[in-house]
């Protein structure tokens, strides 16, 4: 499997198709095309702060993710994985599935190479503990480099009052309680990559 940056309408449409394969994943339901287009078109351009990466097997796109680099006065420089979809389903989610692991590894490497050392994310409370155990068991991302902080929980079917939380949730209310978390790269691991 190989990972490539995605761009253009053909990649966009394939990613939209992949996003609709499952009726519900990780506390969310698929977006309709127009909101999806509004949220993700930027990821398929030559943007310096929004990236779409895909994992290919025999020239077929099997998984993809959206990565956003963000800088603001309140929180400084940080990044998030806006979305992650796959066509390969197993009985449980694992960061050790090659297509997922390679995408996550790519995200961390890109963010760190651009000196973005804080990773914010949201996850359904229902699977939050499983998600954290899976991170600890993964073989693609080095463990022990990041400190973990749980920031807040947004109740199901509620719009959060914090703009960042709303963005992390894809700007849509979720049918599950959503936990907002961040990981901060420890000082001794910073600047390992050159830009």
**Is 150 within the bounds of a domain?**
yes
Domain range enclosing 153: 2-189
d(CA 101, CA 106): 9
Task: Report the percentage of the chain scoring pLDDT > 90.
Answer: 54
**Is 195 within the bounds of a domain?**
no
Here the CATH number for the domain that contains residue 98 is: 3.40.630.30
* 61: its two tokens: 């796109």
**Quick one: pLDDT at residue 195?**
44
| pLDDT tens string 107-160 | 999 999 999 999 999 988 988 888 888 888 888 887 889 999 999 999 999 999
d(CA 140, CA 102): 7
Q: Is the pLDDT of residue 29 over 80?
A: no
**Is 127 within the bounds of a domain?**
yes
The string of DSSP codes covering 122-171 is EEEGGGHHHHHHHHHH-SSS-SSSEEEEEEEEEPTT---SSHHHHHHTTS
* Overall domain count for the chain: 1
**Is 57 within the bounds of a domain?**
yes
**Quick one: pLDDT at residue 10?**
94
pTM summary value: 0.86
**Is 89 within the bounds of a domain?**
yes
């Amino acid at each position: 499997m190989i990972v490539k940056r995605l761009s253009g309408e053909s990649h966009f449409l394939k990613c939209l198709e992949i996003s609709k394969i499952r009726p519900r994943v990780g506390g969310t339901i698929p977006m309709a095309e127009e909101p999806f287009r509004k949220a993700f078109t930027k990821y398929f351009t030559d943007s310096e702060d929004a990236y779409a990466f895909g994992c290919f097997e025999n020239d077929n796109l099997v998984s993809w993710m959206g990565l956003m680099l963000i800088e603001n006065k309140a929180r400084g420089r940080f990044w998030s994985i806006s979305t992650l979809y796959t066509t390969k389903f197993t009985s449980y989610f694992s960061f050790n599935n090659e297509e997922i692991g390679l995408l996550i590894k790519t995200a961390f490497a890109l963010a760190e190479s651009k000196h973005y050392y804080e990773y914010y994310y949201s996850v359904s409370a229902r699977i939050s503990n499983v998600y954290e155990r899976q991170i600890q068991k993964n073989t693609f991302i080095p463990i022990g480099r990041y400190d973990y902080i749980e920031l807040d929980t947004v109740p199901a079917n509620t719009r959060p009052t914090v703009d960042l939380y709303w963005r992390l949730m894809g700007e849509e209310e979720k049918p599950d309680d959503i936990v907002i978390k961040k990981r901060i790269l420890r000082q001794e691991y910073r600047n390992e990559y050159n830009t």
